[in-house]
Amino acid sequence: MLRIEIEPEAKTRIRRQLLAWYDLSQRNLPWRRSRDPYAIWVSEIMLQQTRVAVVVDRYQAFMTRFPTLVSLALATEQEVLALWSGLGYYRRARMLHKAAQFVAANREGNLPTTADELRLLPGIGNYTAAAIASIAHGEPIPVVDGNVERVLCRLQGWEAVGRSGAAALRHKVDSVATQILDPKRPGDFNQALMELGATVCGPRNPQCLVCPLSPDCITRGEHKTQARPRMLSKEISYALAVRTGKLPGFTNREVLLEQRPDSNTVMPGMWQLPVLREAAVPESELRMTVRHAIMQVNYYVRIRTVFEDDIPVLTTTEGRRCWVPLINAAGMALTGLTRKVLSRAHLLPVAPLEILTLQAAQDPS
């Protein structure tokens, strides 16, 4: 491994400055109030590729419904996906659930305490293992996510590189992260570096004037970040079909939902509105338009109200379909887009997160 030597005085200064800043400036986030390895694990998985603002409410709902690893292990996959609905990247939820079941079945519900052992569990990679071990158990091991990599590259004056040079750069970043890690407070130090990257040393417009690492930073804002890959655009249209059901009151209405087949690579098992055969929707039939981003694709979505009799003609069938009482829909494993459309159409009876914590998801079949 390439090794970049950091001066002892610089190491001491970086640790002192960064931790002092973190102690004063850290955001008040629910997972920071816990040293429970399970809680840290859930938060770290949720935070991968998802913004903190989106995660906070979902995390609290998830932990209310599944307060322990064993309670998560005992849930059905549909229940777990329902609580994950809207966070995207649903594979994370499936892996978390499977790993919880593995730990419950093979380790009496106790997560290992070291990063080396944690890495052996299904669904826990280097990053998550290091985060749990350092934050929950004080293991002196660095955690390097995208934010930390950016901060350390700027600190050292290294420019972001293309894929070909990524491995070499990563080795150098890991070396620096290992050297500057505070051995007395490794969990706080790791979180401080991630926090700095998220709040002060962001991808654009780093706030170098208030940065605790400014005295040791070579670039101080002059660092070039790689351009983001261009987003693709796609158009898609869905049918919103609602009929009168057999139950009384608000629940006396049902919405037609379709479960994405297990063979789908994206969001298998999740529930969505039926897809219209034609992406174009006549203006007079248009119920709403929604913009929805998934990974590198911007979806421009049209929603058309469809009567029950017209469903076979206007929609294509991809998976099994069910008429679901609206009272049950909010607790199901809906895709984020479907939840968004039903909410905007005022078809979810209460705030989605509220109902998710109150009821277990129900399989409508």
Q: Which residues are catalytic?
A: 44
Least distance CB 133 / ligand SF4 (angstroms): 25
| From 29, 161, 208, 322, residue interacting with ligand SF4 (rule: CB under 6 A) | 208
| From 14, 100, 217, 341, residue interacting with ligand SF4 (rule: CB under 6 A) | 217
| From 124, 213, 242, 329, residue interacting with ligand SF4 (rule: CB under 6 A) | 213
Q: Does 151 bind ligand SF4 (CB under 6 A)?
A: yes
Query: Which amino acid appears at position 92 of this protein?
Result: R
Start-end of H helices in the chain: 8-25, 37-47, 52-65, 69-74, 77-84, 91-106, 115-118, 126-137, 146-156, 166-180, 186-199, 311-314, 326-329, 336-344, 352-358
Q: Does 160 bind ligand SF4 (CB under 6 A)?
A: no
Number of chain residues interacting with ligand SF4 (CB under 6 A) = 16
What 8-state DSSP symbol labels residue 120? Answer: T
Q: Does 206 bind ligand SF4 (CB under 6 A)?
A: yes
Residues 302, 237 contacting (CB under 8 angstroms)? yes
Q: Does 17 bind ligand SF4 (CB under 6 A)?
A: no
The span of 22-30, 127-135, 204-212, 346-354 binding ligand SF4 (CB under 6 A) equals: 204-212
Least distance CB 201 / ligand SF4 (angstroms): 3
User: How far apart are the C-alpha atoms of 332 and 81, rounded to whole Å?
Assistant: 8
Residues 253, 242 contacting (CB under 8 angstroms)? yes
* Cα→Cα distances 15→109, 153, 190, 196, 330, Å: 35, 17, 11, 13, 46
Q: Does 15 bind ligand SF4 (CB under 6 A)?
A: no
| From 25, 199, 219, 225, residue interacting with ligand SF4 (rule: CB under 6 A) | 219
Map residue 259 onto helix, strand or coil: strand
Give the nearer residue to ligand SF4 in terms of CB position, either 87 or 155: 155
Could you give the angle at which helices 91-106 and 37-47 cross, rounded to 10 degrees? 160
Provide the 10 A C-beta neighbour count for residue 258. Answer: 22
The span of 36-44, 207-215, 248-256, 318-326 binding ligand SF4 (CB under 6 A) equals: 207-215
Give the nearer residue to ligand SF4 in terms of CB position, either 154 or 302: 154
The span of 26-34, 217-225, 233-241, 243-251 binding ligand SF4 (CB under 6 A) equals: 217-225
| From 96, 100, 141, 155, residue interacting with ligand SF4 (rule: CB under 6 A) | 155
Give the nearer residue to ligand SF4 in terms of CB position, either 121 or 211: 211
Residue 181's closest CA among 152, 147, 201, 153? 152
Give the nearer residue to ligand SF4 in terms of CB position, either 188 or 258: 188
Q: Does 214 bind ligand SF4 (CB under 6 A)?
A: yes
Give the nearer residue to ligand SF4 in terms of CB position, either 105 or 218: 218
If phi > 0 it is left, if psi is from -120 to 50 it is alpha, else beta; for residue 89 that is left
Give me Rg for the CA atoms of the chain.
24
- Burial pattern 229-248, b for ≥16 Cβ within 10 A else e, equals eeeeeeeebbbbbbeebeee
Q: Give the residues lining the site for ligand SF4 (CB under 6 A).
A: 151, 154-155, 200-201, 206-208, 211, 213-214, 217, 219-221, 223
